[in-house]
Amino acid sequence: MAYFGAKTASIRSWSYAVACFACLIISDSLLYSQNPAEQANYEPANLAQQAIETLIAASSSVDEANRLSFDNVLARTLLLKIRLHQIGSLPAFVEATRQVDFPFSRLDVESALGGELAFQGRIEEALALIDAADDSGSMTNNDRLNIASGVADELTRQGRFNEVAVVASHLKTTDCQAHLLFFGVIAPLASLGDVTGAIKQLEQIQDETGEFALLLAEELFRFNQPEESFSLLIKHFPPPIEIAADSEQPFRLIGAVKLYAKLGKAIIVNKFCDAYRTIKNYPFLLEALATAYFYEGNNEQFLKTSREITQLTPFNVYALSEPLHLLSLRSPESLTPALQFIGDSVPASDQDTAFYVLSQRLQDQQRWRDALEVLLLTSARSSRLYACIEFVERMAKSSATSREFDAVAKQILQVFQLEKEPIRTELLCGFVTAWAKRQPVNEAIRRSLIACVHETRQRLARQVESGMNVKADSQIADLVEAWLAVKETNFPIDILDLVANPDLREDLRARILIGNKDYPSALSAALKTLPADRPDLLMHIFKRASLNHRADWALSAAASLTGIDRGAALAGIAAGVSGLLNEEFPRD
């Protein structure tokens, strides 16, 4: 089923400035009464606290079926309190957090809580939070590290590196301590140009496998300090090194050799290749050697080594990723060198995969038209279709402009038109939804979606009239999601009559009505859904109502609900009147 409510996201990088700004706009744009007593009803912190208390009081009625939805709403409400700097008593807040059973949600809350305590200067309480996690039998070492990272991230943001070391000392394992110190102290020092300080700190942590030495060397290379990067590499990964028995060591080795290659050290890379011809990862050593020759300017050896990769048995086409990438850089205005290499050197049975690999690297460069052009060269129809969907999803997460989207849209739509229903509808909806998450879709795409909705409605109706057993639930859910994503109104709601699952039917009806800003009708539909799905949906209804200046109606309607439903409604109002649109405001 295509449920698409708000999702809980990573909370380790939100901007406290956004929370402060949101608090400032409450009285200006979202509060309706000048009466102080009535205004208190709209205070987000008060509403959130009421929601938390109501949810916890009703938690005894939560069964396994609706536990996840309950946990999601409670966790998001706790996060809202944190963002509003409304922790209050730490023990009481932690006790409320413990009501969340779903481990990932609880860890997100506790990590954010640690960051907020650090922000407020309540370091001792933050350390107590980590120690309490250590005392919990259900917490793994990584769970404790997650909570400690919330504290350390805020301290690092403020440049309080000495205190990060104190936080690390409260972790019980040396590998977790090393992880926290690397990302909280060593890497930030390197980014600030303090190479000596970063290396000195590196020497203080336990790094038997060279994991953190390699990470620091990569950071130094990224910050244009190749000599320091090379010095660190040659110290920790001298050629050739003995491969330890643990399974991760070959990956460390490959990483080190690839960095040697970027530094243009072909002689050193060649020594590794000679020493490790029998290991499974040997093709990637050759890839590194080809890379090194490229950066040395030795074109003949670069091409010769790249061809040697294609002659290995078995041939691993993914080992051509960097050579194809480098060939595409040779002539940024032309794909000819890379495509010619694939045509001349890659076995015919592997060329589709090579096209895919090259397209991925072109996407890395944000050369979207070139990347799509290469994808469309693949001969396998199913691979081409789903590679196009993956392409659009990746493009949607990038900084691609409207013009770049427009440039590829026509080609992608042509690919979809070759498909039969219902696959064509699925592809179009996926494309539209991915695009709309980034920016408004163009008119051609909007018209295509509207036409698709009406065509699908007529097609399904004809199939039902002819006595066919129509399974349309997922198609209709996809259409509703795409329609709402482009912020269209007046969805032909009678198409919901073709949805077989009554719970999904009312869920979709509620979401369509939310899009139409008909919140009372949306609430009526939501109350017909299963309790397992209802809390998230109710929170969404009441949040949107409050954001659209209907907090007065929302408070009145919430008062008529009971138990978890009422708690979810209050949580939605709190999120709405705070002006914080949950994950829609990432923290810098």
CB 307 within 8 A of CB 293: no
Q: HSE on the CB side for 82, CA within 13 Å?
A: 29
Q: What is the pLDDT of residue 39?
A: 54
Instruction: Tell me what the mean pLDDT of segment 446-466 comes to.
Output: 87
* 544 and 506 within one domain: no
* 525 and 508 within one domain: no
**pLDDT at residue 516 above 80?**
yes
CB 44 within 8 A of CB 577: yes
Total Cβ atoms within 10 A of residue 479: 26
Q: What is the pLDDT of residue 330?
A: 80
Does some domain include residue 108?
no
Q: What is the pLDDT of residue 36?
A: 43
Does some domain include residue 299?
yes
Angle at CA of residue 266, ends 265 and 270, nearest 5°? 125
Average pLDDT of the chain, as a whole number: 85
Whether the bond between 314 and the residue before it is cis, its omega within 30 degrees of 0, is yes
Closest by CA to 50, choosing from 481, 573, 550, 588, is 573
Supply the pTM of this predicted model.
Answer: 0.79
CB 100 within 8 A of CB 110: no
Q: What is the pLDDT of residue 242?
A: 64
Question: What is the H or E stretch that residue 317 is in?
Answer: none
Instruction: Tell me what the mean pLDDT of segment 353-361 comes to.
Output: 95
What is the domain count for the chain?
A: 5
d(CA 163, CA 150): 13
**pLDDT at residue 130 above 50?**
yes
Q: What is the pLDDT of residue 243?
A: 58
Instruction: Tell me what the mean pLDDT of segment 84-98 comes to.
Output: 91
d(CA 243, CA 276): 9
* 486 and 529 within one domain: no
Q: What type of residue is 357?
A: V
pLDDT band at 35 (very low <50, low <70, confident <90, very high): very low
pLDDT, greater one: 275 or 266: 266
pLDDT, greater one: 106 or 34: 106
* 363 and 291 within one domain: no
Q: What is the pLDDT of residue 409?
A: 81
Whether the bond between 422 and the residue before it is cis, its omega within 30 degrees of 0, is yes
Does some domain include residue 149?
no
Q: Which of 154-168, 403-417, 447-461 has the lowest mean pLDDT?
A: 403-417
Distance (Å) of CA 539 to CA 505, 545, 565, 569: 18, 10, 9, 5
pLDDT tens, residue by residue, 43-54: 888 999 999 999
Q: What is the pLDDT of residue 148?
A: 95
Does some domain include residue 101?
no
| Ramachandran area for residue 241 (φ above 0: left; ψ -120 to 50: alpha; else beta) | beta
* 415 and 349 within one domain: yes
Domain around 552: 520-587
Q: What type of residue is 8?
A: T
d(CA 379, CA 321): 20
pLDDT tens, residue by residue, 564-581: 999 999 999 999 988 744
* 532 and 508 within one domain: no
Does some domain include residue 389?
yes
Q: What percent of the chain has pLDDT over 90?
A: 56
Q: What is the pLDDT of residue 134?
A: 56
Q: What percent of the chain has pLDDT over 70?
A: 89
pLDDT tens, residue by residue, 462-479: 888 888 877 889 889 999
Does some domain include residue 134?
no
* 537 and 488 within one domain: no
d(CA 426, CA 438): 19
* 524 and 494 within one domain: no
* 526 and 509 within one domain: no
* 458 and 386 within one domain: no
* 558 and 501 within one domain: no
Q: Domain ends where: 454, 485, 516?
A: 516
pLDDT tens, residue by residue, 521-547: 999 999 999 887 799 999 999 999 998
**pLDDT at residue 301 above 50?**
yes
Q: What is the pLDDT of residue 444?
A: 81
Does some domain include residue 370?
yes
Does some domain include residue 226?
no
Q: Domain ends where: 389, 421, 453?
A: 421
pLDDT tens, residue by residue, 318-348: 999 999 999 999 877 789 999 999 999 999 9
DSSP 335: -
* 416 and 345 within one domain: yes
